[in-house]
């Protein structure tokens, strides 16, 4: 059932759940929330590096999905469509946060989430996060989904609406760029 949670092959009952949610069935919508919210939270956190922001984003993404559920074709998989909404919302949210001068999120997270966090680790996180943000948004998304959350290329390709080959080359290029930008913070290969 892992693939159903990651937006690959949906569970067999998923079109039925989507149809019932379309008709306002609370239980069906609740089941979709149960099925996707953990993975959605992990992806949202990958982008925002902040627990509360990530939880808010997941909630917004589910509400947006319910608002637009009529645009999801009958029988289409919910997962890739939902993750696309989530990723777009995450990128927009981060732009909004950046405009509000809150770019230094990882440091704040380190302070708020684990008071005894190792300072070197916090520094690494800050640099990693900064390096990720410096990538093109599609490349960053591929790194977060693939390297951080374990999505497969066909799944990511569906989510981003790009060919699998493009997805692979985004990842390869992004890794090279990240290695360059992390420099001293990286352990030798």
Partner 1 sequence: MAEPHDDRPIAEIEALRAPPRTETARRQARERILAAAEPLLALRQRPLSSWDVLAAWARPGLIAASVALAVAAGALLSGRVGQQTVEPVALGEVLAFSEGGEIPALLVAINEPDAEAVAAAALMAGGGNNGSLQENANNGEGQ
User: Which chain residues interact with partner 1 by CB under 8 A?
Assistant: 21-26, 29-30, 33-34, 37-38, 41-42, 45-46, 49, 51, 54-55, 58-59, 62-63, 66-67, 113, 121, 124-125, 128-129, 132, 143-144, 147-148, 168-169, 171-173, 175-176, 178-179, 182, 185-187, 189
Nearer to partner 1, 9 or 107 (CB): 107
> For residue 158, how many other CB atoms are within 10 A of its CB?
21
- Please report, for residues 52, 68, 99, 148, 156, the alpha-carbon distance to residue 71 in angstroms, rounded to integers and kept in the order given: 29, 6, 31, 29, 20
As measured in angstroms, the least distance from the Cβ of 54 to partner 1 is: 7
Nearer to partner 1, 95 or 176 (CB): 176
Q: Taking the alpha carbons of 99, 101, 106, 108 in that order, is the dihedral positive or negative?
A: negative
Nearer to partner 1, 30 or 75 (CB): 30
As measured in angstroms, the least distance from the Cβ of 75 to partner 1 is: 19
- Please report, for residues 29, 50, 93, the alpha-carbon distance to residue 40 in angstroms, rounded to integers and kept in the order given: 15, 13, 15
Number of residues that this document lists for the chain: 189
């Amino acid at each position: 059932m892992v693939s159903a949670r990651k937006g690959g092959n949906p569970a067999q009952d998923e079109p039925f759940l989507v149809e019932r949610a379309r008709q306002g069935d609370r239980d069906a919508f609740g089941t979709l929330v149960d099925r996707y919210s953990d993975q959605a939270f992990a992806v949202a956190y990958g982008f925002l590096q902040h627990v509360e922001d990530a939880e808010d984003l997941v909630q917004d993404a589910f509400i947006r999905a319910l608002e637009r559920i009529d645009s999801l074709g009958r029988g289409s998989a919910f997962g890739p469509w939902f993750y696309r909404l989530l990723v777009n919302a995450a990128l927009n949210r981060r732009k909004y946060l950046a405009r509000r001068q809150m770019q230094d999120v990882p440091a704040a997270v380190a302070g708020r989430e684990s008071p005894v966090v190792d300072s070197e680790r916090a520094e690494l996180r800050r640099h990693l996060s900064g390096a990720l943000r410096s990538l093109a948004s599609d490349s960053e998304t591929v790194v977060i989904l693939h390297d951080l959350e374990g999505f497969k290329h066909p799944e990511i390709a569906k989510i981003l609406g790009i060919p699998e080959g493009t997805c692979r080359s985004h990842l390869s290029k992004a890794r090279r760029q990240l290695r360059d930008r992390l420099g001293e913070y990286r352990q030798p290969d």
